[in-house]
Every structure is written in structure tokens, then in C-alpha cells.
């Protein structure tokens, strides 16, 4: 590890997130800070910390001309790029409160947030996006200033037609003088992050500078991060997991961040950038797992056995390296198996991954076992927007993939009624913006925050066992947690999305969205026309799909039995209102959208 060096900024040295950035520029002015793909030149470019600070100065001066006061809210509607960081730092340095918006969110949701937070200024990527947002705002008061990143004919046309809009090139000064770091308190409000709830309107989580700084510091105490590390950022920066883990944390450690071009180009960017750290949601690893599984099905039996042997020996080595089992002679095969079988897979992820952190949703154990067996250091973590967000993460030296990790130092945890996890820490939110009633429901006067998740604690490791609101109660009183069942079924590459249904019913059913890439081949196997919707109702197909579901649930208790299923092709997405911007399925909305299909599944017994 001689090539890795720590350059951490002590939390005692800074009181705000902009002070953290200011300190990093002083420490590492000439080191690479950010890397991105420039579409105009068709090449990757980068900024040093000092060059980034110079850009922050320009944005800071432009913001200072807008008659904004400390505490005013300003919003960001940009894809991941250096300008996201630059605008955020410029705003924070003036005492402004940043409100991130999801680029994939529906215009109506973004308009609600702009109105609820009384946003004064908005930075937006494209002219068309602002047009849709302006239409959704209607007569509702919106930001008084809109800074448009897009230039050219479209940008100029929108700016000419709307006095609120200005192109960024005309708004920014050519240069700006260096600025003095402001005096501020850790408890000052830094950001309002609206949770993309699966029901009801989003709530604005108020996080202070101190909340986030302490969370970053706690995360680094569990997972060593070095200035030589290269992060690949692809989750939306409007998501608190990405913002804390791939933006503020690399500032504290002095690491470089590269921004992926898009999710569709992620595989190519992995091999080009060759990151050492990524933060992702389980779906990313599940998709790779499903792709590997599908490819193996088409290979000879000897290849499948060799892959299974690699995973089995690799998992044994992982357990041995963690001190949880002894050495045995089979481990001698590992160098050969890693070179012949595992290396081609890991090379597609860049070939030098030091830590891959999964958070935002439960990571299936089988997915973790396969990747750890192949040699990928995959770490599961857990947190909430309301906790800035990290509550726990597995360290490399004590990685228990069936858990969500070790809790941050200084965090208190207890198990309340219904096995609910409750936490108290300096990372807990200040409350919900303009919503005292909602705040009182989750945050007690004694500082304990109700997570809504069921859990158990074993030493310092935390295990999430269910979600209180997601428990299905059958008509016989049996309580069924559907999330684990859905996760197990979803490991089958044929099933893109799964929703288990049964609240108040006598048995369980499921809505299954088939993998569109595999549907044509599957339909041909059954002599069906893939273009006809009636093909999804073919009795032979339904019978075999239910068998696959039963096989996926073979290790589950007796209650986990799906009696009937409806096959679908249209995926649940943000655009059709059936998923949140953080890629969580809106259970109630999906059930309502397909209520006729659900009723048909239960009407078969009548």
C-alpha cells in the first residue's frame, strides 16, 4: 500500500462545506480534482483544485449580483458535471441554501419543490427542460432568475422570450478575484433535499453543514480513502448518497472524481476511467449479475462449472481473509481461477476497483457472494436522506455482506416497537422544511429518529430485516415482508421488475415485468407473437413463469408462495409516475395502475 497516501482534512479545521473546499484548494492546488467528457471536443478534460476554485469565484460573483441574502434558496437542475459542484460551492460560500432537483423527475414534481422551497434562482441544463418546468409552474410563483447552461439558438431564443432567463455565458464574469472564507456555524442550514417518497408529496429534508461534515468524517473512519483514489460518479448528485460519498467525501480526502457520460455508456466509461472507488445502487450490480447468468446459460456445461468453482473458491478465500474460516488446500486453485475466469469480468469494471459501495436499497446476498467470490471488494451500506445519509457501511477488513455494515462512530442506535431501528447522531436532520407535523412523526424531542426500517443489531453490525410500511397482512393475519421475495425473484434475468401483492387477500400474487431484451426469444420458444399483448396470457408461458418464481423462492418459508402472476412488458419508470427518482417502486401507484389485472388474478377463485 506504499503507493497510497492519506491527505485528510481534519474536521476540527472546518465548520462549513465551503470551508472544507477552501482548505482542499490550499492543500492541493495543482492536483487533479474533476474529470469529465467534453462533448464538443470529443475528449476527456480535467480541472485542478485551483482551477475549480477560480470557476467557483466567477459563479460566486455572479450570484452576488442577484440581490440574494444568506438563507435564500437556490436550485440545481444539472446532470453530474463540474458545474454542479462549482455552483453548489459558490452558493454555500455566500450562505445560500442549495436545493437539488432530479434531472429525470417529472416537471410537476420539480415545480412543486421550487414553489415549496420559495427558490429564488435556478440553474438548469437545457432550454427544453426549462420550458417544461415553466409550463408546470403556470401561474405559480417561480424563481426570479433562471440560469441556462445551454447556449446557441435554442438558449438565445428562450432567454429572449423570458426575462427571467439568462444564458450562463452572458451571466458569468470573465474572471473574479479570490475571496476570503466567511465565518459561519456548523448548525447553519446548508441544503434542503426533497425525499422522493413512494406516497404523497416529497418532503424537504433540512441538513446543516455540520450534519454532512460529520457524516463524511464518520464514513472515512470506516472506509479508508486516499488522495490517489479515483471515483467514478454516475448516481445523480441530487441523491444524498452520491452527494456525500462522491462529492464532499473526495474533497475531505483529496481524491479525484470523474463524471460518467451516461448510464448507457457506463460500461465503456468504466474501462476508460478505470476507477478505484464507485458508489452505486444494487440494481447496477444486479444487472451485471443477470447478464453474466444469461451468458453462462448459453455456454457449455464445463464453462458453467468452472465459473461456479471460481465463485466457490473465491468466496472461501474471502471468508478466510476475513478471519471467519480456516485455510484449506482448494485455495491453491485461486490464482489460476482468478486469472482465467474472474479477471475478464473485473477488467470490464476497469480492473483496479478497490471498493465498490452499494447503498440505497438491499443488496441480494447471492449477488454479493458472486462478486466477492470473483474478487470485487463489494461493500453494502445503509442510510437515509434524513441522516445525511450514512448510518452504516461495511469496512473492507470486516465485511459481512448479509449485513449493511458497521454503524458510524458516535451514532447511537436502538430497536423500538415493531423492531424499528431508531438512531440518534449529529448527522440527523434539522427537520422537514415547512412541515412540523411530519417532523414530529419521525424525530423526537430527545433527538431519536425513527427510520421506518426493521432491524437487529449484532455487535457493531447492523442487519435490516424489513420495512414497516411494506409489510403485507393477509386475510388470515399472516404478515409477509415482500421486499426479500421481490429481490429473489428479480435475480432471474427474465424478470426486470417484480411487485408482490396480497394486502388483505387470502394468498399472494405478483406483477412481473419481463426483460424486454429477452422477450422476443422467449416468445419464439413458445411459438408466440411477441408483438401481440395476448401472448403474455398464454397458459403454458404463465405456468412456466410461475415455476421459475417458485424455484426462486425455494428457500423461503411456506408463506412465500405466489399463486398467480400477471406478465407485463412496459417497465415502471419515473416518466410514467410508477418509480421515484431514486428508483424505488411506488407500490400503491403500481397496484392502482394495474388494479384490473390484480382483480382478475383474485377473481379466478370466484
Q: Model confidence over 500-517: pLDDT tens digits?
A: 999 888 889 999 999 999
Residue 589 has pLDDT above 70, yes or no: yes
Which class in CATH covers the domain with range 11-184+223-278? Answer: alpha beta
Report the C-alpha gap between 43 and 41 in whole angstroms: 5
For residue 434, give every residue at least 6 positions away whose Cβ sits within 8 Å of its Cβ, in sequence order, or none.
Answer: 116, 204
Residue 474's pLDDT is: 81
Residue 187 backbone phi and psi in degrees, to 5: -80, 0
Please check whether residue 361 is in contact with residue 283, taking contact to mean a CB–CB distance below 8 angstroms: yes
For 331-376, write each residue's pLDDT tens digit.
999 999 999 999 999 999 999 999 999 998 889 899 999 999 999 9
* For range 304-327, the mean pLDDT: 97
pLDDT of residue 254: 98
* Local confidence band at 164 (pLDDT 50, 70, 90 cut-offs): very high
Assess contact for 362 and 465: CB atoms under 8 A.
Answer: no
What are the start and end residues of each CATH 3.40.50.980 domain in the chain? Answer: 11-184+223-278
CA 595 – CA 606 distance, rounded (Å): 17
- Delimit the CATH 3.30.300.30 region(s) of the chain: 471-603
The proportion of the chain whose per-residue pLDDT surpasses 90, expressed as a percent, equals 83
How high is the mean pLDDT of the chain? 94
Angle value at C-alpha 364, between 382 and 306, nearest 5 degrees: 135
| 23 pLDDT above the threshold of 50 | yes
Q: What is the mean pLDDT of residues 318-330?
A: 96
pLDDT band at residue 606 under the 50/70/90 scheme: very low
pLDDT of residue 1: 47
C-alpha cell at 205: 429534508
Q: Which residue has cell 483496479?
A: 352
| C-alpha cell at position 279 | 458508489
* Residue range 545-556, pLDDT digits in tens: 999 999 999 888
- 214, 259, 305, 509, 519 from 500: Cα distances, Å: 38, 36, 33, 6, 21
What integer pLDDT is reported at residue 69 of this predicted model? 97
The DSSP annotation for 451-464 comes to EEEEEEEETTEEEE
Over residues 223-235, mean pLDDT: 96
User: How far from chain centre, in Å, is Cα 525?
Assistant: 36
Q: Is residue 196 very low, low, confident or very high in pLDDT (cuts 50, 70, 90)?
A: low
538: cell is: 398464454
**What are 280's strand-pairing partners?**
358
Query: For position 197, what pLDDT does the model report?
Result: 58
Query: What confidence tens digit (pLDDT) does each residue in 86-136 have?
Result: 999 999 999 999 999 999 888 998 999 999 999 999 999 999 999 999 999
- For residue 135, what is its C-alpha cell? 409550463
CA 314 remoteness from chain centre: 28
CATH of domain 471-603: 3.30.300.30
pLDDT band for 315, please (50, 70, 90 cuts): very high
- Average pLDDT on 454-473 reads 89
The pLDDT score that the predictor gives to residue 480 is 83
Amino acid at each position: 500500500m506504499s503507493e497510497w497516501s492519506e491527505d485528510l482534512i481534519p474536521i476540527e479545521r472546518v465548520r462549513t462545506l465551503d470551508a472544507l473546499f477552501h482548505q482542499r484548494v490550499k492543500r492541493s492546488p495543482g492536483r487533479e480534482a474533476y474529470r469529465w467528457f467534453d462533448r464538443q471536443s470529443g475528449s476527456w478534460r480535467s480541472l485542478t483544485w485551483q482551477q475549480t476554485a477560480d470557476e467557483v469565484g466567477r459563479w460566486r460573483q455572479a450570484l452576488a449580483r442577484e440581490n440574494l441574502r444568506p438563507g435564500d434558496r437556490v436550485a440545481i437542475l444539472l446532470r453530474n458535471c463540474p458545474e454542479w459542484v462549482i455552483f453548489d460551492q459558490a452558493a454555500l460560500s455566500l450562505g445560500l441554501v442549495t436545493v437539488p432537483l432530479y434531472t429525470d423527475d417529472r416537471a410537476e414534481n420539480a415545480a412543486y419543490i421550487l414553489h415549496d422551497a420559495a427558490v429564488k434562482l435556478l440553474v438548469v441544463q437545457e432550454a427544453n427542460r426549462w420550458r417544461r418546468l415553466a409550463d408546470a409552474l403556470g401561474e405559480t410563483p417561480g424563481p426570479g432568475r433562471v440560469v441556462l447552461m445551454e447556449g446557441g439558438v435554442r438558449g438565445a431564443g428562450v432567454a429572449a422570450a423570458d426575462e427571467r432567463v439568462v444564458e450562463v455565458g452572458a451571466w458569468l464574469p470573465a474572471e473574479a478575484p479570490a475571496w476570503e472564507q466567511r465565518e459561519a456555524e456548523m448548525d447553519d442550514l446548508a441544503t434542503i433535499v426533497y425525499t422522493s417518497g413512494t406516497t404523497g408529496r416529497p418532503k424537504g429534508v433540512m441538513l446543516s453543514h455540520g450534519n454532512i461534515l460529520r457524516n463524511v468524517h464518520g464514513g472515512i473512519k470506516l472506509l479508508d480513502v486516499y488522495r490517489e483514489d479515483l471515483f467514478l460518479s454516475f448516481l445523480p448528485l441530487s441523491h444524498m448518497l452520491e452527494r456525500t460519498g462522491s462529492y464532499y467525501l473526495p474533497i475531505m480526502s483529496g481524491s479525484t472524481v470523474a463524471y460518467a457520460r451516461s448510464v448507457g455508456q457506463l460500461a465503456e466509461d468504466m474501462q476508460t476511467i478505470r476507477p478505484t472507488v464507485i458508489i452505486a445502487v444494487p440494481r447496477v450490480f444486479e444487472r451485471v449479475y443477470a447478464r453474466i447468468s444469461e451468458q453462462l446459460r448459453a455456454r457449455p456445461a464445463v464453462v458453467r462449472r468452472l465459473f461456479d468453482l471460481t465463485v466457490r473458491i473465491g468466496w472461501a478465500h474471502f471468508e478466510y481473509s476475513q478471519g471467519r474460516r480456516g485455510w484449506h488446500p482448494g485455495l491453491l486453485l485461486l490464482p489460476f481461477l482468478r486469472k482465467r475466469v474472474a479477471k475478464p469480468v473485473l477488467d470490464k469494471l476497469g480492473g483496479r476497483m478497490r471498493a465498490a459501495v452499494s447503498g440505497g436499497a438491499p443488496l441480494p446476498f447471492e449477488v454479493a457472494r458472486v462478486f466477492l467470490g470473483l474478487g470485487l471488494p463489494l461493500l453494502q451500506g445503509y442510510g437515509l436522506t434524513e441522516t445525511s445519509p450514512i448510518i452504516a457501511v461495511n469496512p473492507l477488513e470486516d465485511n459481512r455482506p448479509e449485513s449493511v455494515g458497521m454503524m458510524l462512530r458516535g451514532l447511537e442506535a436502538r430497536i423500538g416497537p415493531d423492531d424499528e431501528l431508531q438512531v440518534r447522531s449529529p448527522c440527523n436532520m434539522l427537520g422537514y422544511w415547512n412541515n412540523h407535523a411530519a417532523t414530529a412523526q419521525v424525530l423526537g424531542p430527545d433527538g431519536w429518529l425513527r427510520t421506518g426500517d426493521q432491524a437487529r443489531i449484532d455487535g457493531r453490525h447492523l442487519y435490516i430485516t424489513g420495512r414497516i410500511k411494506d409489510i403485507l397482512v393477509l386475510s388470515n393475519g399472516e404478515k409477509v415482508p415482500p421486499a426479500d421475495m421481490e429481490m429473489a425473484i428479480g435475480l432471474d434475468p427474465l424478470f426486470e421488475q417484480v411487485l408482490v401483492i396480497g394486502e388483505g387477500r387470502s394468498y399472494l400474487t405478483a406483477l412481473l415485468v419481463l426483460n424486454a431484451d429477452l422477450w422476443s426469444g422467449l416468445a419464439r420458444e413458445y411459438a408466440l407473437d411477441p408483438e401481440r399483448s395476448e401472448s403474455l396470457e398464454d397458459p403454458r408461458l404463465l405456468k412456466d413463469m410461475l415455476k421459475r418464481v417458485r424455484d426462486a423462492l425455494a428457500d423461503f418459508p411456506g408463506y412465500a408462495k405466489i399463486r398467480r402472476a400477471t406478465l407485463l412488458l412496459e417497465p415502471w419508470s419515473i416518466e410514467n409516475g410508477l418509480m421515484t427518482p431514486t428508483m424505488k417502486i411506488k407500490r400503491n401507484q403500481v397496484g392502482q395502475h394495474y388494479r384490473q389485472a390484480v382483480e382478475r388474478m383474485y377473481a379466478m377463485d370466484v
